[in-house]
Amino acid sequence: MKITFPHLGDAHILIRLLCKEMNVDCIVPPLNTLETLERGSRFSPEEICLPFKLMVGNIMAGIDNGADTVVMVSSNGPCRLGEYGELLKSVLDKNGYQADWILLDTVRDIGIRELIRRAGFVWGGKKRSKLKLLKALKGIYKVVHSLEKMEKEIHIRCGYETEKGKLKDMLYKCKRDICRCDTIKEAVKIIEQSSGKVKRIPIDRSRNPAKVMLTGEIFSLIDPFGNQYLEDKLMDMGVSFSKRITIGWWIDTTFVHSLKRAKMMKQSNGFLNYCIGGYAKDTVEEVIEAKKNHYDGVIQLLPLGCMPEIVVKSIIPEMSDELDIKILTIVFDEMNGEAGYITRIEAFIDMLQRRKQHVLYGY
């Protein structure tokens, strides 16, 4: 069995390491490019969202390179991700890309026993030690949280760095080194060394950069190609920013603290009091948190046609007025050019900077 999977940010780094530890053959699709999108768009339903089209292109590339099994996470509920597995399989089967499929649903949807049973197909069931798998999963958990902790620190510190680009270079060097690792232990060591170097890169705390929260649909937040490399642009612009929704956050809320999240979804926040699917309620909660933590603005990201985030977009003007915080919504699809996004982001950041100067200095 040779598995493949669709891309989601840095998930390929983690999955490759896990497969290495468990001696599972893994075909990592090429990173998302315009070619991936064009290929996926040719075979996808016309009005489906951008993430789906990229996933079609990813899986086709994986099967082309020898994969015979597709592994994918899923979720029940109003978000279309709950139907992605079935729809992806249908689209690919019709076009001659047949493979076995293993869908990993959330614990609260299928239960822990069923999730373990499905995961067993990936890792070979009783053929491989359960203790070895648990040890590997624990190691991957440490890798993802350590890497995201360092990345979060870099995103905040890049607004204060004295030599532009140093922190971004450090982040990408760390990721490249991890991609060449053969063991989880090596990856952990690389992250620890890189984290120490990050803290030694000079910063100027007297600076007062724009402070921005990124929120919205998970794929648009996590996948660089899916958001036109927004994080790179913000680092280049000297913006101090953060985001809560990450792969590590998803692992925690989906598997580790799923019951706690389910309880949180039932709580009222005054703007969106019901869970309508996807990460809509999280987006609203993050705008509220951004105000409490004195962020200058919020950027909401979503792919065209994402129903939960479209609902949030409709209440954003009310939230912006009531909370007195500026919010920019960016909708991604395959027809929009990069220049248009850059212009809107630059204008938004410039407006936040001028607003800060007015508050601080009265001009």
Per-residue confidence at 43, pLDDT binned at 50, 70, 90? very high
Per-residue confidence at 46, pLDDT binned at 50, 70, 90? confident
Query: What mean pLDDT do residues 151-166 have?
Result: 95
Element (H, E) at 332: strand 326-332
**Number of neighbours of residue 320 by Cβ within 10 angstroms:** 17
SS3 category, 68: coil
pLDDT per residue over 229-278, tens digit each?
999 999 999 999 999 999 999 888 877 766 666 666 667 678 888 877 78
Residue pair 131/102 in contact (Cβ under 8 Å)? The answer is no
pLDDT(70) > 60: yes
Supply the pLDDT for residue 84: 76
CA distance readout (Å), 107 to 88, 98, 254:
22, 27, 7
- Dist. CA 178–CA 168, nearest whole Å: 16
Q: Is the pTM of this model over 0.75?
A: yes
Supply the pLDDT for residue 271: 87
pLDDT per residue over 108-133, tens digit each?
777 778 877 887 788 765 555 778 88
- Dist. CA 225–CA 250, nearest whole Å: 19
- Dist. CA 252–CA 260, nearest whole Å: 10
Per the model's pLDDT, the better-predicted residue between 346 and 127 turns out to be 346
How is the beta sheet containing 25-26 ordered, strand by strand? 25-26, 2-4, 69-73, 100-104
Provide the β-strand partners of residue 299.
214, 328
Per the model's pLDDT, the better-predicted residue between 121 and 335 turns out to be 121
- Among the listed residues 266, 254, 197, 238, the one whose alpha carbon sits nearest the alpha carbon of residue 349: 238
Q: Are strands 25-26 and 211-216 parallel, antiparallel or unpaired?
A: unpaired
Given CA atoms 342, 213, 284, 215 in this order, what sign does their dihedral have?
positive
- Dist. CA 277–CA 254, nearest whole Å: 14
Q: What type of residue is 119? A: A
Exposed, middle or buried by CB within 10 Å (0-12, 13-18, 19+), for 347?
exposed
User: What is the overall mean pLDDT for the chain?
Assistant: 88
What are residue 301's phi and psi, to 5 degrees?
Answer: -115, 135
Radius of gyration of the chain (CA): 21
Which of 68-72, 119-123, 297-301, 330-334 shows the lowest per-residue confidence on average (mean pLDDT)?
A: 119-123
Supply the pLDDT for residue 326: 95
Termini Cα distance of the chain: 65
Which two structure tokens, joined as six digits, stand for 219? 């794929």
Supply the pLDDT for residue 125: 57
SS3 category, 185: helix
